Structure 1
Amino acid sequence: MGGLGVRDIQLFNVALLAKQAWRIVTAPNCLLSRVLLGRYCQNISFVDVLPTSNASHGWRSVLKGRDLLITQLGKAVGDGNSTRVWKDRWILSNNTGTPVGPPKEMDRDLMVSDLLTRGTNEWNVAKIKDLFPSLASCIKSIIPSLLRAPDEFIWIPNKDGRYTTKSGYTSAVKYNSLLENGGSPLPVLEWSKKVWASQCLPEIKLFMWKLMQGALPLGANLEKRGCGSTYGFDPDQFSSLSEALLSGMRTICLPPTGVSQPIFPWICWCLWTSRNKLIFENKVLSSSEVLSLSITSAREWWLAQPTAMKAPRQPNLIIPTLNAEVNCVSVFTDAAWRASDGATGCGWIFKDSTRQSTQHGSKCFDNTASALTGEALAICLVLSHALSLGYTRVCVFSDCQVLVRAICSKSSPVELYGLVCDIELLSSLFDYCTLSFISRSLNLEADLLAKSALYNAALTT
């Protein structure tokens, strides 16, 4: 509330209750879920059930959290057997998450598995183009589980698809403000990042918070309190101060000003002090003088800060290592992604314990959503290839640190759900299997194979 970190206790309580609803949705076999679902959801799903007249207070509270949960509840496609095409939000790249338009009578109960080819579990492109021609590219960019992992509920606001009380409370606040404003969304202002974490004086941070909350004696605020008719915010470019702040924080101060941080808070502060000098001291400052004073004040404050504050933060890098177990095959993999058409080239190379190449290959894919998806495709492909070659002990190396961390931490992005499920299942079929990160300089051979595959695919098309 207001950027001070004070929460709306009622909305926060609903966000906590949604945690219990999330537990029932994602773990229906636990004892609590079995008791509640057996008592209240015998003939209907938990997502669609309504409170009965004889429901307990605890169950009504859980449904209150459920109502918040379903506002941002989606499905990650695995085998597609439990995802409804027209009712579940499974096309995450689309605004609505589901196809728009009245379905035909015969397609009303269509499941996502009906859009997949039997046997291969790949998309039936002809059927997709026939039913959803405008969404064909979005649907094809979703990669289902080729090994038929089950579909999974996801919480859309979080990248890993897991519900947290923090994200639930944020969604509750947004949804509540949307209802209060008649369905028109307000600009979202992240106070901790845009105001309290800005590089400026503490008094300027407090000033900016007061400015956004309407706590300063400005003309529009005085008019609301019946203190005279004056001009309010000029809506020529922005409709509100919050929108102006969001735009100003993205503005880069170019050389030779000597300031690398956004100076929008300093400009607002100097405008405020200049206004006070005009009213109380009858001293007039021109616009150029106000701007010059803002830049000078920001530069002086920045130069006075400790050197440690100005030093760029060093990322926590994993030290690359090529140490593999004895009698273990080393597999180097990489992917090259082209953003214009979503094409991805995957390359891999197998090496024995003496670092001699034994196998190598490459393959190209279409309609890949991101470079991260391409890297996951490459790992999934090499694991399947290693099994077909009869290897039982493999050490996989990739130069995509984000993907390696996501797979090892069991917290992968939603877009990789099907691929990560296949990678986990394939890795379990080996006697020994590890996944490690190496630098790009140690993975040049696989990188060259991936780029060659992408280049050759472009020539053939």
Structure 2
Amino acid sequence: MVNSIEALIARIKQAEWFGKIQRFHLFRASPPVSHLLFADDSLFFCKADCQQSSEIISISRQYGEASGQQINFSKSSVMFRSKIQPQMKSDIKRILRIHQEGGMGTYLGLPEQIHGSKAQVFAFVQDRLKSRINTWSSKFLSKGGKKVLIKSVAQALPTYVMSCFLLPKNIRSKLTSAISNFWWSNNQESRGLHWIVWDKLCLPLSEGGLGFRMLEEFNLALLAKQLWRLVRYPNSLLARVLRGRYFRYQSPLHVKPSYLPSYGWRSMLAARSLLLSGLRKNIGSGWDTKVWSDPWIPTLPARPATSKLVTTNPNLYVNELIDQSSKTWNIAKLQELIVPEDIPHILGLHPSLSFSRDSYIWAFTKSGNYSVRSDYWAAKASPREDCDLPFQGPSVWSLSRIPLIHGVFPTSSIFANLDHLYWRVKELGGSEDSIRDFPWIMWFIWKARDSKVFGNIDTHPADTLQFACSEAESFRVARARDAFLDIAPTCLEPPVSQLDSSPPACQIDGSWVQGSSLSGIGWIVGSDRRFSNLGLKSIRQCLSPLHTKFEALLWAKRSLTSLSITDITFETDCKELTQLLDTPDEWPAFSSELEDFYSLKPSFPRFSLSFIPRLNNARVDCLAKKVRARGSIFSHVSSSTPDWFSLKENRPFLA
């Protein structure tokens, strides 16, 4: 079947080449199109004359003979421009053997023409949803069953339409009303009693809701993804067609309203402000980013740099802040122009070693790729209600090393607090060192509350934190006592030769702590309990923990290349780093690092990066933490550890 389709496309292109078919221009500056193939729904374009119509039907007949598929003429239709003469229309329909004119009403589930009342055009979405809900209403469903149906079917049903068009407000309101009535009703005839407003049920589970979607915000988030694709993939067919009509000389993010735009284009522009709120410029060469106006500082949300001068040059570009010989940041220039608070953020960015263009990335995901889920919650951004927090909780948490985020942690929701501590704080840059004590802190906060409630005994928050951290340290020491004897000596054993024919493994890791000015990276070549070479390096703080681990991989490859060790594989305890290299197109935030990676890759004939458990990578983890804690920028590559890296000093990092 694939070969038949390829043959069909080849015949169409051959006919174009010899002038037998004239391709269709939707707009004068847009690329011409001769065909669009979507499984059973296929479109062919040509000039309205008998010769080209005969060529189209001839190619289709040859494809049918080769593939066994035949055209269903009764389900096919032909569309003409308004200026085509009636006689020509009749001749073409006779040649094509297609007598239905004007289209099929819908194409790929969407209306072919959108004009007049938008409520009437999209009424089919409402009718489809109501017919589906009515079949459910006659059944006796539990609340759990209704919740599953609403999330998986009712709110998913209009998703495809909402990803292409902005539904009218009254249609969205009727869809929400139908879903709400189904949730509260007991049978098909009763609307039921609505005990709480629907907006409350659309809150996330962590805030007391059920996680239902608000259709307006979800509609905008889906449309923002279409706009993101125009920015991310400017050479796609859709982007080239729309560029010829709406943004020929500008970015779609900043284009001005055009004359008589299509409803699809207007729908995408309705989500532009939402998309812009989460975009950040990823620095490549720096030639496309203005220092004082473009959002390139990696904060949430992203913003331009802040000047320390009274007057600024509005046309200053980021490339002027980069030392072009070394492709590193010009620190003297940064200190001259930019406030000190922004400089650490800038130094964490990785300028490209080549002249790659700056690009937009999505700031609310690690990968930098747009996510409808993250944009939906950014659009919703509902305020949290104030409630009484647990006894002495905020005093204790503020004294700990766990980073506090206003409105995010701590909150009145136990679920939200635990979700943040277990998962979200790492995504926001919190290190394991800073959050590892939180179970004991929670336990001693509870004990302090019990002492107050049942014994009327007050415990100072500092004492609560001290007791918790002391108990946590005792637990770790007891648990690590046996493991320490097995793991610690591996950092200091002498090198040995490789006994097997498989290439040696290079384990890599990085240490990153929120608020620190430095990061530590390290690598070890060896297997089992011994090593032959190692590298330690302290660098300026990277943008995130994942950026630090990627930098460790890049530096390990450079170091091994200088040692003429290239027949080697790599290992890491970071699954995201392996995913990044497997699907690089899904991680635009690492475009500069990936350029460096590909420039070094040819030196390693059997390169592979595999995931290993964290316990198996304890040696390199120990190196990276020790390097970061040293507090100065340096590097060390040798077959032995430096003198200051003693076993006694290393004990806290292994405990």
In which range does the TM-score fall when normalised by the shorter chain?
0.5 to 0.7
Alignment of 1:318-357 (within 5 A): 326=501, 328-337=503-512, 341-351=516-526
399, 406, 422: which is aligned to 2:573?
399
- Structure 2 equivalent of residue 158 of structure 1: 365
- Structure 1 equivalent of residue 165 of structure 2: none
- Structure 2 equivalent of residue 220 of structure 1: none
- Structure 1 equivalent of residue 351 of structure 2: 144
Distance 1:354 1:254 in 2: 38
Q: Is residue 94–residue 138 contact of structure 1 (8 Å, CA) maintained in 2? A: no
- Structure 1 equivalent of residue 316 of structure 2: 110
Moved over 6 A (4+): 102-106, 255-258, 353-356, 411-415
SS of 2:281 mapped into structure 1: strand
SS of 1:2 mapped into structure 2: helix
231, 241, 245: which is aligned to 1:39?
245
- Structure 2 equivalent of residue 187 of structure 1: 384
Distance 2:361 2:305 in 1: 18
1:120 to 1:58, Cα distance in 2 relative to 1, 3 A: same
Q: CA deviation at 1:107?
A: 2.4
426, 429, 433: which is aligned to 2:607?
433
Correspondence 1:124 to 2:321: no
241, 246, 260: which is aligned to 2:413?
246
Q: CA deviation at 1:401?
A: 4.1
Q: Percent identity?
A: 30
RMSD: 4.2
Alignment of 1:21-32 (within 5 A): 21-32=227-238
User: Counterpart of 1:187 in structure 2: which amino acid?
Assistant: R
Q: CA deviation at 1:123?
A: 0.5
Larger-Rg structure: 2
1:328 to 1:125, Cα distance in 2 relative to 1, 3 A: same
Correspondence 1:72 to 2:278: yes
Q: CA deviation at 1:336?
A: 4.0
Distance 1:158 1:449 in 2: 29
Q: Is residue 11–residue 172 contact of structure 1 (8 Å, CA) maintained in 2? A: yes
Distance 1:429 1:23 in 2: 34
Q: CA deviation at 1:379?
A: 0.6
1:51 to 1:371, Cα distance in 2 relative to 1, 3 A: closer
SS of 1:348 mapped into structure 2: strand
Q: CA deviation at 1:391?
A: 4.8
Q: Is residue 329–residue 391 contact of structure 1 (8 Å, CA) maintained in 2? A: no
Q: CA deviation at 1:49?
A: 0.5
Q: Is residue 510–residue 520 contact of structure 2 (8 Å, CA) maintained in 1? A: yes
1:169 to 1:133, Cα distance in 2 relative to 1, 3 A: closer
Q: Is residue 20–residue 65 contact of structure 1 (8 Å, CA) maintained in 2? A: no
Q: CA deviation at 1:53?
A: 2.4
Unpaired stretches in structure 1, ≥5 consecutive residues: 178-185, 190-239, 259-286, 289-322
Distance 1:429 1:41 in 2: 43
1:38 to 1:432, Cα distance in 2 relative to 1, 3 A: farther
SS of 1:16 mapped into structure 2: helix
- Normalising by structure 1, we get a TM-score of 0.61
Unpaired stretches in structure 2, ≥5 consecutive residues: 1-198, 202-209, 387-406, 419-440, 448-452, 455-497, 635-655
- Please give the per-residue CA displacement for 1:119-163, whole angstroms capped at 9, x wherever unaligned: 221101011111113311221122333355543311222232222
- Normalising by structure 2, we get a TM-score of 0.44
- Structure 1 equivalent of residue 389 of structure 2: none
User: Counterpart of 2:268 in structure 1: which amino acid?
Assistant: V
554, 557, 565: which is aligned to 1:383?
557
User: Counterpart of 2:221 in structure 1: which amino acid?
Assistant: A
Q: Is residue 81–residue 150 contact of structure 1 (8 Å, CA) maintained in 2? A: yes
User: Counterpart of 1:348 in structure 2: which amino acid?
Assistant: W
Q: Is residue 349–residue 357 contact of structure 1 (8 Å, CA) maintained in 2? A: yes
User: Counterpart of 2:367 in structure 1: which amino acid?
Assistant: D
- Please give the per-residue CA displacement for 1:265-318, whole angstroms capped at 9, x wherever unaligned: xxxxxxxxxxxxxxxxxxxxxx98xxxxxxxxxxxxxxxxxxxxxxxxxxxxxx
- Structure 2 equivalent of residue 205 of structure 1: none
Flag the structure with more relative contact order, 1 or 2, with Cα contacts below 8 A and sequence separation at least 6.
1
- Please give the per-residue CA displacement for 1:52-78, whole angstroms capped at 9, x wherever unaligned: 223222222221222321122212223
